[in-house]
Amino acid sequence: MYKLKKLPNGFEYIEIKNSSASAKIALNGAHIFHYQQTTKEPLLWLSEISDFENEKSIRGGIPICWPWFGMNKNENLPQHGFARMSLFELTNISELAPNNTQVSFILKDTQESRKLWPYSFILEYTLTVSDKLSLELKTTNKDSKDFKITQALHSYFKISDILDVAIIGLDKKPYLDALTMKDGIQDGKISFDTEVDRIYKEVDSKINLIDKDKIISIENKGSSSTVVWNPWIDKCLRMSAMKGDAYKRFVCIESANALDDFKIIKPNQTHTLKATVY
């Protein structure tokens, strides 16, 4: 079962329910902000004070960072690109089985997008809602020249408490610490007692987020970089649409093409970034 719903301010989203899970996906940014298996707690964290307005990014869920990740060299351009604040077109909803619903969106270049990024493109996003959540972001170059992208599926995972979680699967992986701009090598599991903002490289296996009473698994294709982020106390207080203690309740593990994992896409060629979480 699915419904297209609209808030009083005109903000539209799709609500999905099947025998395995439920989900809510906004047309603005093709942003999934709720996913919950039928017998379990929500997998994604969502800020209680997030904006739900067109041309604004939702705080939580899984924003799409595209066609660049992080800050652009031109500081006047929006952080993490423009896709997360753009209105996508809903192209298809298919109930493939009683426990499996697939939703597809598309974003194409416009006169306004070319002011920010001067290329012709098609961005297709397919989400499959079942006992797993599958996300597939496909970039097609429709221009006459090559273009370069960095990107991320900026997943906010809901947790019991930041002090009680650990991430495994990145041991011995090199990373860039975005807070110090220094390189490092991961030693064992990742745990949290301060702000963490790292881009891990050479990622080639499943990542597990270990909480007190659950394990969240992330598997990626088309990507060899993963971002791990928690803003901790001071930054959390400065961030928009986030309560001061919100850092305790989420950790971001982002499926990405970042740093040297950027992609150059030739005319009429494509690149697909895929993440499966469960």
| Domain with 53 in it | 2-277
The pairing of beta strand 100-108 with beta strand 250-257: unpaired
Cα dist. 243→47, 84, 164, 174 in Å? 8, 21, 20, 32
Structural domain count, the chain? 1
Distance of CA 146 to the CA centre of its chain: 25
Q: How many CA atoms does the CB half-sphere of 92 hold within 13 Å?
A: 11
Give me the helices (H) in the chain, please. Answer: 111-116, 232-238
Nearest C-alpha neighbor of 63 from the set 18, 20, 32, 102:
32
Q: Tokens 């939703």 correspond to what residue?
A: 103
**CATH code for the domain in which residue 58 is found:** 2.70.98.10
Nearest C-alpha neighbor of 127 from the set 236, 10, 35:
35
- Compute the distance between CA of residue 152 and CA of residue 277 in angstroms, rounded to an integer: 14
Residues designated as active site: 154, 254
Pseudo-torsion of CA 81, 135, 253, 11, nearest 10°? 60
- 181 dihedral zone (left: phi>0; alpha: psi -120 to 50; beta): left
What would the two tokens of residue 4 be?
Answer: 């297209």
Report the chain (278 residues): mean pLDDT per 10 consecutive residues.
Answer: 96 98 98 97 97 96 98 94 98 97 98 98 98 98 98 98 98 98 98 98 98 97 98 96 97 98 98 98
- Compute the distance between CA of residue 253 and CA of residue 209 in angstroms, rounded to an integer: 9
Q: What is the pLDDT of residue 277?
A: 98
Buried b (16+ CB within 10 A) or exposed e, 256-274: bbbbebebebeeeeebebb
